[in-house]
Amino acid sequence: MRHSRRASAATSAILGNRTVGEGDLNQAANAIAQLGIGAELTATIRAIEASLTGKQRRAAERTLADYEIGEAVLEGALKIKDLAGQIHVVIHAVGILVVLPHILARDERIESVSLGAGNTGREHDLVTDRRIAEFKFIQWRGGAESIRQNSLFIDLFNLASAETTKRRCMYVVDREHPDQFLANRRALSSVLSRNAAAAARFKALYGERFKTVADYADYIKDRVEIVDLRDVVPVFARSERSRVSPGSVPASSGRE
């Protein structure tokens, strides 16, 4: 019972000075769902635009009433937007916690774990008596992915340059895009341009030895294991199939 209370409490998110509970979230979702999703939402917006053209205030108000557009819809959208700002932190934290039972050996001991997304002050997401590890729950889309690529490279560099004899593991969802990135000729000066601290450490270690991502990736290929979580944890394989199924809505972007 104590655990169920904790779980129930965890479903409420603190946003500023207000609490949004499960009931509030359901109301918010229902309010915005009436507009539709994906292509349906686009069609609804276009229909409203056409309906409003040439109308004066009273007629416009009737059009909004016909489509049930009011403050409730706006308030619902604002609540969902507030929560969406935290979703990447939730995915990173819960993702690691769900993965742990699948990757840890029976007698492997956790020495530290960093569940917060971004810079938490700890060197690695996971440190045990046998491995150091980083986790990337990014859903790659192909094309221009420079921010995601930069983040992945920094994590790989941190693993490869760590002073340890432990296993070094980089856990990702779908290896295809990371492998493509690590095989390309993108300049390291570009990849490291937004992280001065990492750029300085890289130069101190290697000077001008490596010019491209592929050069460095080839150097560390036997030092860092890149593991596709779809092969380890069933939920990631199911999520990937759902994401690419016909009619599915693309996931939101952001750091995970």
Contacts by residues 63-69 (CB-CB < 8 Å, ≥ 24 positions apart): 68/34
pTM for the whole structure:
0.72
Q: What pLDDT score was predicted for residue 123?
A: 86
Distance from C-alpha of 176 to C-alpha of 122, rounded to nearest angstrom: 28
Q: Of 11-20, 70-79, 161-170, 173-182, give the lowest mean pLDDT range.
A: 11-20
Strand duo 167-172 + 225-228: pairing: parallel
Q: What pLDDT score was predicted for residue 81?
A: 84
Q: Of 12-21, 154-163, 181-190, 233-242, give the lowest mean pLDDT range.
A: 12-21
Following DSSP, what letter does each residue of 179-207 receive, concatenated? HHHHTS--BHHHHTTT-HHHHHHHHHHHT
Strand duo 18-20 + 13-15: pairing: antiparallel
Q: What pLDDT score was predicted for residue 36?
A: 86
pLDDT at 176 over 60: yes
Q: What pLDDT score was predicted for residue 35?
A: 86
Write down the domain spans for the chain: 2-84, 87-243
| Structure confidence by residue, pLDDT tens digits, 1-24 | 444 444 444 444 434 444 555 667
Q: Which of 21-35, 109-123, 168-182: highest mean pLDDT?
A: 168-182
CB of 236 closer than 8 Å to CB of 175 = no
Distance from C-alpha of 210 to C-alpha of 21, rounded to nearest angstrom: 51
CB of 184 closer than 8 Å to CB of 174 = no
| Structure confidence by residue, pLDDT tens digits, 190-215 | 999 999 999 999 999 999 999 999 99
Residue 173, Ramachandran bin (φ over 0: left; ψ between -120 and 50: alpha; else beta): beta
Which percentage of the chain shows pLDDT scores above 90?
A: 57
User: Which of 222 and 249 is assigned the larger pLDDT?
Assistant: 222
Distance from C-alpha of 13 to C-alpha of 82, rounded to nearest angstrom: 10
